[in-house]
Amino acid sequence: MNLFFITLFVLVITIVPSVAFAETVMDKDVFTPGSQFDSKPLDEAEQEQQDLTDLWIYSIIIVVVVIIARIVLQIVKKRMSNA
């Protein structure tokens, strides 16, 4: 029973966030350049703003994962004490 919860916890922490936040870029033709080559490059201020936005997104994702992990661990701990 303990191995089941550990396995479930590892799967939730590793696989589920990567599936939920996966990005897929699909081109119509393999040999044509993607949309990343069509856009103009960002200037320094825009790049800093984009980096800051990315940092906030990653921070929020990490906080949500930690909160979910804490809730799962509390549930597992409560069930282990009842069993």
Closest CA to 4 of 76, 70, 57: 76
Residues in the chain: 83
The maximal CA–CA distance of the chain, rounded, in angstroms, is 60
Count CB neighbours of 68 within 10 A. 14
State the amino acid at position 70 in one-letter form. R
pLDDT along the chain (83 residues), means of 10: 77 70 58 57 82 92 94 92 83
Closest CA to 35 of 24, 44, 43: 24
Q: What is the pTM of this model?
A: 0.49
The pLDDT value given to residue 46: 83
State the amino acid at position 20 in one-letter form. A
